[in-house]
């Protein structure tokens, strides 16, 4: 125990993914002392950073499931939430397409299912679907159109939720893996290598590891089974090939291979849905790529794999119930599990967060609203989206906005400095917040300069600048020279 700092809070949230950060922000509306405990160097680096980024419309989910309960309400919360937090969100719509008469019958069943929930939907003929999306396959005989489906930058949203929660008083512990947990005199004790956190209520939002956190408290009544999804991202010049996310008719286990216009503008195809043994298996595979390409081309034949600039895999935290778990522990009063968050967990997160607050109240916490809660995140600069006049004005005010550091994505030094001031501590943190390094060259040109800016702004030696936290240090001598000579480009 010795040497560890002690922290006493009302609510401790384990895990800073989309579920933990959305819950933290929701709890920050009340007079509570809340801490988020995250094992990585920044929030949002679990499943939240590696998914399709689709804000599902809410017609897919089986009736009677928690997925159905939270998906459509979550979808409906996105426009306001993303406006308040100034996060990239496109309500670009969804098309589920049928390639034959049998699939058309299934599409109509989803139409009925969605309509019963109040999801805005329309049925289109093949011609009407192709009039909306001219690149769609000639084989498509009909489609279900959900205009309120959308696309979001999931990492940006998690970072923004956390930033806003911190602004409203929540504390964040990073690089803090929970290594032990127990109950002492009714209090929940959570231990990391550096801290002992004593909490009245603990929210277990540790994604793939929620079953392991539960077991630390003696709860072993659910298991998380990892299921991997590979995704392939295209160059920005594929923008506008399709505007809406294109879904096939789903199989029993997955929503299928999709063609996805991301909120950033790149096209993406994926994901696979493969049961795996290791929760940390993030490898992409030739076989996965072939299956995805075949699936994507059956929807949009013109897809050109030569335009792929990046590939990644994410792992779904599927529960052995086949559904979300949003409930009090049956054994430990004051322990709440938010687990089994496979798709549509990102979409459902805002609605789950509201329900998590209800569970916190049920666990005995008095909820007194804060009168000075600030819902907005202000002053986010996206230089390349500004008009010429706005750019000129900004550069006059702060010349750092006049220096382009990432040429592919046109990201300025000013935006990188902003990202650091908003909480980025690593190259990946900059990439996901400001997009420096997210373009065609994947950081090949700008990485040393971004490293030098991080070192200068955080006043740390270059040797301590990491890609994604301890163990990923990458000193480049070019960056050292740049730092020594002042940063210019
Ligand atoms: C390929 C793929 C595509 C998907 N596409 C979509 C989509 O388009 N739309 C949609 O709605 N959903 C989608 N999903 C699902 C969505 O990504 C998840 O539901 C969501 O990200 C789960 O968030 P989470 O916060 O539960 O988990 P995570 O993001 O994994 O967060 C858990 C956090 O807990 C931390 N943690 C773990 N163990 C510990 C510990 N011991 N101590 C401290 N911290 C710990 C982790 O580091 C992590 O940050 C997709 C998932 C995958 C894999």
Question: Tokens for 485?
Answer: 């000579």
Tell how far the Cα of 207 is from the centroid of ligand 1, in angstroms: 5
The answer to whether the CB of 14 is under 6 A from ligand 1 is: yes
Centroid of ligand 1 to alpha carbon of 71 (angstroms): 15
The domain boundary residue, chosen from 378, 396, 422: 378
Give the alpha-carbon dihedral of 5, 8, 12, 14, to 10 degrees: 20
Q: For ligand 1, what atom is nearest to the CA of residue 178?
A: 42
Of 331, 355, 378, the domain-final residue: 378
**Distance from residue 317's CA to the centre of ligand 1 (Å):** 7
Q: Tell me the pLDDT tens digit for each residue of 91-140.
A: 999 999 999 999 999 999 999 999 999 999 999 999 999 999 999 999 99
- Compute the average pLDDT of residues 433-462: 92
Atom of ligand 1 nearest to the CA of 45: 49
Find the CATH number of the domain harbouring 463: 1.10.10.1100
The CB density around residue 6, as the number of other CB atoms within 10 Å, is 10
Q: What is the pLDDT of residue 479?
A: 58
Query: For ligand 1, is residue 274 a contact (CB within 6 Å)?
Result: no
Q: How confident is the model over 474-487, as a mean pLDDT?
A: 64
Closest C-alpha among 197, 159, 167 to residue 180: 197
Q: Which of 272, 289, 311 is the last residue of a domain?
A: 311
For ligand 1, atom 4, the nearest C-alpha belongs to 51
Q: How confident is the model over 9-17, as a mean pLDDT?
A: 98
Query: Which atom of ligand 1 sits closest to the CA of residue 348?
Result: 11
Q: 64: alpha, beta or left, given left = phi > 0 and alpha = psi -120 to 50?
A: left
Give the separation between CA 7 and CA 188, rounded to whole angstroms.
12
Residue 174: left (phi > 0), alpha (psi -120 to 50), or beta? Answer: beta
CATH number at residue 284: 3.30.9.10
Assess whether 184 and 63 both reside in one domain.
Answer: yes
> What residues make up the domain containing 70?
1-86+150-223+320-378
Tell me: do 61 and 166 sit in the same domain.
Answer: yes
- Does the beta carbon of 54 lie inside 6 Å of ligand 1? yes
Q: Residue 440: its pLDDT value, please?
A: 84
Residues 166 and 306 in one domain: no
Q: How confident is the model over 315-367, as pLDDT tens digits?
A: 999 999 999 999 999 999 999 999 999 999 999 999 999 999 999 999 999 99
Here the CATH number for the domain that contains residue 355 is: 3.50.50.60
Q: Are residues 2 and 57 in the same domain?
A: yes
Residue 75 has pLDDT above 60, yes or no: yes
CB 243 within 8 A of CB 261: yes
* 177 pocket-lining for ligand 1 (C-beta < 6 Å): yes
- Whether residues 210 and 244 share a domain: the answer is no
* Judgement on whether residues 416 and 281 belong to the same structural domain of the protein: no
Q: Are residues 162 and 137 in the same domain?
A: no
* 24-37: pLDDT as tens digits: 999 999 999 999 99
Rounded to the nearest whole angstrom, what is the distance from the C-alpha of residue 218 to the centroid of ligand 1?
A: 23
- Taking alpha carbons only, the member of 457, 444, 428 closest to residue 159 is 428
SS3 per residue for the chain:
CCCCEEEEEEEEEECCCHHHHHHHHHHCCECCCEEEECCCCCCCCCHHHCCCCEECCCCCCCCCCHHHHHHHHHHHHHHHHHHHHCCCEECCCEEEEECCHHHHHHHHHHHHHHHHHCCCCEEEEHHHHHHHCCCCCCCCCEEEEECCCEEECHHHHHHHHHHHHHHCCCEEECCCCCCEEEEECCEEEEECCCEEEEEEEEEECCHHHHHHHHHHCCCCCCCEEEEEEEEEEECHHHCCCCCCEEECCCCCCCCCCEEEECCCCCEEEECCCEECCCCCCCCCCHHHHHHHHHHHHHHCCCCCHHHEEEEEEEEEEEECCCCCEEEECCCCCCEEEEECCCCCHHHHHHHHHHHHHHHHHHCCCCCCECCCCCCCCCCCCCHHHCCHHHHHHHHHHCHHHHCEEECCCCEEHHHHHHHHHCCCCCHHHHHHHHCCCCCCCCCCCCHHHHHHHHHHHHCCCHHHCECCCCCCECCCHHHHHHHHHCCCC
Residue 348's Cβ-count burial label (10 Å; 0-12, 13-18, 19+) is buried
Task: Verify that 240 and 306 share a domain, yes or no.
Answer: yes
- Residue 1 pLDDT exceeds 90: no
Whether 288 lines ligand 1, by a CB cut-off of 6 Å, is: no
Report the pLDDT averaged over residues 271-293.
Answer: 97
**Judgement on whether residues 78 and 180 belong to the same structural domain of the protein:** yes
**Given this model, what pLDDT does residue 253 score?**
73
In a shared domain, residues 235 and 374: no
Is 319's C-beta closer than 6 angstroms to any atom of ligand 1?
no
Task: Report the alpha-carbon distance of residue 268 to residue 71 in Å, rounded.
Answer: 22
Ligand 1, pocket-test mutation among 43, 45, 46, 283, most atoms within 8 A of CB: 46
Provide the pLDDT for residue 488.
Answer: 58
Residues 393, 298 share a domain? no
> How many domains does the chain contain in total?
3
Give residue 487's pLDDT band: very low, low, confident or very high (50, 70, 90). low
Q: Is the CB of 168 under 6 A from ligand 1?
A: no
For the chain, give the percent of residues with pLDDT over 70: 97
Distance 282 CA to ligand 1 centre (A): 13
- Pairing mode, if any, of strands 195-204 and 5-14? parallel
Catalytic residues: 56
CA distances from residue 267 to 143, 209, 250 in whole angstroms, order as listed: 20, 31, 20
Do 98 and 177 lie in one domain? The reply is no
Minimum mean pLDDT among 376-380, 411-415, 483-487: which range? 483-487
pLDDT of residue 332: 98
Ligand 1 neighbour 114 (Cβ under 6 A): no
* Residue-wise burial string across 61-90, b where 16 or more C-beta atoms lie within 10 A, e elsewhere: beeeebbbbbbbbbbbbbeebbeebbbbbb
Mean pLDDT within 200-214: 98
Q: What is the pLDDT of residues 294-322, one digit of tens each?
A: 999 999 999 999 999 999 999 999 999 99
Q: In whole angstroms, how far apart are CA 235 and each of 119, 266, 272, 453?
A: 32, 6, 20, 26
């Amino acid at each position: 125990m010795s040497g560890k700092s002690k922290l006493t809070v009302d609510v401790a949230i384990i895990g800073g993914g989309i579920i933990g950060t959305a819950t933290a922000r929701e709890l920050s509306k009340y007079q509570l002392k809340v801490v988020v405990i995250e094992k990585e160097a920044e929030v949002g680096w679990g499943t939240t950073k590696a998914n399709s980024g689709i804000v599902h419309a809410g017609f897919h989910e089986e009736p009677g499931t928690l997925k159905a309960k939270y998906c459509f309400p979550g979808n409906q919360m996105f426009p306001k939430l993303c406006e308040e937090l100034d996060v990239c969100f496109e309500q670009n719509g969804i098309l589920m397409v049928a390639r034959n008469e049998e699939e058309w019958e299934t599409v109509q069943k989803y139409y009925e299912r969605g309509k019963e929930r109040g999801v805005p939907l329309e049925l289109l003929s093949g011609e009407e679907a192709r009039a909306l999306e001219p690149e769609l396959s000639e084989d498509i005989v009909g489609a279900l159109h959900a205009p309120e489906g959308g696309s979001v930058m999931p990492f940006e949203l998690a970072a923004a939720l956390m930033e806003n929660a911190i602004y409203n008083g929540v504390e964040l512990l990073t690089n803090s893996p929970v290594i032990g947990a127990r109950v002492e005199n009714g209090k929940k004790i959570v231990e990391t290598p550096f801290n002992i956190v004593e909490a009245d209520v603990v929210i277990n939002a540790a994604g793939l590891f929620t079953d392991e956190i539960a077991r630390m408290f003696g709860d072993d009544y659910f298991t998380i089974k990892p299921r991997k999804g590979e995704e392939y991202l295209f160059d920005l010049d594929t923008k506008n090939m399709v505007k809406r996310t294109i879904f096939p008719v789903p199989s029993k286990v997955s929503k299928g291979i999709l063609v996805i216009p991301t909120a950033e503008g790149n096209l993406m195809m994926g994901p696979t849905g493969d049961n795996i043994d290791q929760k940390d298996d993030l490898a992409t595979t030739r076989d996965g790529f072939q299956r995805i390409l075949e699936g994507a081309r059956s929807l949009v034949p013109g897809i050109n794999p030569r335009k792929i600039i990046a590939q990644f895999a994410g792992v779904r935290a599927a529960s052995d119930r086949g559904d979300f778990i949003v409930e009090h522990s049956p054994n430990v009063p004051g322990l709440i599990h938010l687990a089994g968050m496979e798709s549509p967990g990102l979409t459902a997160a805002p609605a789950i967060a509201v329900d998590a607050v209800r569970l916190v109240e049920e666990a005995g916490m008095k909820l007194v609203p804060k009168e000075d809660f600030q819902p907005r995140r202000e002053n986010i600069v996206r230089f390349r989206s500004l008009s010429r006049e706005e750019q000129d004005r900004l550069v006059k005010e702060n010349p750092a906005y006049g220096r382009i550091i990432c040429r592919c994505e046109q990201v300025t030094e000013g935006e990188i400095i902003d990202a650091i001031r908003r909480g980025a501590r690593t190259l990946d943190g900059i990439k996901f917040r400001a997009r420096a390094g997210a373009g065609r060259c994947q950081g090949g040109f700008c990485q040393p300069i971004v490293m030098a800016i991080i070192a200068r702004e955080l006043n740390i030696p270059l040797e301590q600048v990491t890609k994604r936290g301890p163990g990923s240090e990458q000193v480049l001598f070019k960056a050292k020279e740049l730092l020594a000579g002042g940063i210019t480009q």
